[in-house]
């Protein structure tokens, strides 16, 4: 059985997300008869190898435009190296190709980035750093009255999947109060959650939170989830963190809320349009920290992708249910 692995196109990403020999050895320890081929993301190379490939490991963002699915004569399974699957699902509709994702690869680095945002904003590091770079002046009165302690503050997590659960765990190390939304009301469901609100009680979560963390995926139900009304429900001293998807926020409403100090500030890793337009007002807002959608990057990324792939490979060989199976033909 031939397993084709496509390298990332960006040389920089390759430098931190590189397939090493020990990754291939990990696969062959499970499936000794497999032929593993790792290639650069060059269309000619991909097209040469696709016809006799059985399993394809690829990035949904880097590779989807490079793979000609009409050439996949015997492809049985695609494992994608990220969690979000919408582009590939659309490509695979009507086929019998199995799709699995790498859900579970991101919680540790993304949760750490969330707390980087939270700590910088709560201690006003973003303002001090601007002063250091721009004016080189000793300015103590530029904190705008928004210095916070995480101790006994409240964090509201919207989107309580693997990332949300990791955030809750870290929050408890800071003695924070943790709120989230769920259809379940029992705090015993997760020991790190103090209060579960039902989904129609989101306003209560927003009103009580000092930090609101958007961990939502991109779906038709979450598009524009955070809007003017949402920000108006938040405390004026509260901070908004988005590491979910840019589509979950009405960006112009967020900009208005930040400019008018409806909320105190924001830490943003994702945007409605990426790359973020150079004309966006977000670049110049002093109460905002921006990062270019790299919260999930980590030197351990490929280690985790291969661990997840191998868990699914074991199930595939046994014809058991694959833990990261993504349905592609369901309405």
- Residue 208 a catalytic site member: no
Catalytic residue among 23, 106, 293, 304: 293
CA separation for the pair 13, 33 (Å, rounded): 30
SS3 105: coil
Our measurement of the distance from residue 81's CA atom to the centroid of its chain's CA atoms, rounded to an integer in Å, reads 12
DSSP 73-102: SS--EEEESSS--HHHHHHHTTS--EEE--
Length of the chain (residues): 331
Question: Are 5 and 59 spatial neighbours (Cβ–Cβ below 8 Å)?
Answer: no
Our measurement of the distance from residue 230's CA atom to the centroid of its chain's CA atoms, rounded to an integer in Å, reads 21
SS3 137: coil
Catalytic residue among 79, 106, 126, 245: 245
Asked if residue 11 has a cis previous peptide bond (ω within 30° of 0), the answer is no
**C-alpha separations of 270 from 43, 83, 127, 199, 296 in Å:** 29, 15, 21, 23, 11
DSSP 240-286: EEE-S-GGGB-HHHHHHHHHTTSSSEEEES--SSSSPPTT-GGGG-T
Catalytic residue among 90, 185, 274, 300: 274
- Residue 177 a catalytic site member: no
Report residue 44: phi and psi, to 5°.
Answer: -65, -40
Give the position of tokens 């499970």: 30
CA separation for the pair 95, 92 (Å, rounded): 6
Long-range contacts of 128-135 (CB under 8 A, 24+ apart): 130/286
- Residue 185 a catalytic site member: no
Cite the active site residues: 245, 274, 293
């Amino acid at each position: 059985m031939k397993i084709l692995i496509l390298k990332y196109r960006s040389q920089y990403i390759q430098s931190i997300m590189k397939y090493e020999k020990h990754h291939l050895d990990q696969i062959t320890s499970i499936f000794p008869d497999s032929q593993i081929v790792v290639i650069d993301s060059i269309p000619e190379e991909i097209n040469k190898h696709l016809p006799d490939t059985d399993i394809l490991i690829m990035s949904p963002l880097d590779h989807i435009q490079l793979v000609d699915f009409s050439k996949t004569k015997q492809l049985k399974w695609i494992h994608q190296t990220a969690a979000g699957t919408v582009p590939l699902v659309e490509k695979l509709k009507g086929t019998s190709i199995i799709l699995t994702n790498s859900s579970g690869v991101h919680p540790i680095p993304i949760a750490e980035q969330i707390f980087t945002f939270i700590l910088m904003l709560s201690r006003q590091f973003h303002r001090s750093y601007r002063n250091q770079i721009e004016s080189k002046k000793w300015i103590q009165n530029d904190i705008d009255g928004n210095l916070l302690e995480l101790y006994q503050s409240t964090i509201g997590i919207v989107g309580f999947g693997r990332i949300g659960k990791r955030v809750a765990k870290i929050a408890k190390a800071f003695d924070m109060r943790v709120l989230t939304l769920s259809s379940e009301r029992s705090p015993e469901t997760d020991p790190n959650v103090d209060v579960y609100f039902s989904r129609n009680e989101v306003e209560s979560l927003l009103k009580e939170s000092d930090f609101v963390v958007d961990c939502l995926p991109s779906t038709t139900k979450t598009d524009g989830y955070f809007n003017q009304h949402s920000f108006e429900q938040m405390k004026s001293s509260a901070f908004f963190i988005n590491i979910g998807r840019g589509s979950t926020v009405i960006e112009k409403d967020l900009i208005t809320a930040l400019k008018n100090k409806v909320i105190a500030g924001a830490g943003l890793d994702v945007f409605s349009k990426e790359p973020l337009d150079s004309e966006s007002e977000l670049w110049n807002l002093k109460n905002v920290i921006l990062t270019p959608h790299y919260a999930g990057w980590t030197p351990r990324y490929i280690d985790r992708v291969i661990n997840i792939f191998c868990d699914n490979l074991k199930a595939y060989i046994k014809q058991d249910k694959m833990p990261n199976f993504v349905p592609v033909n369901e309405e």
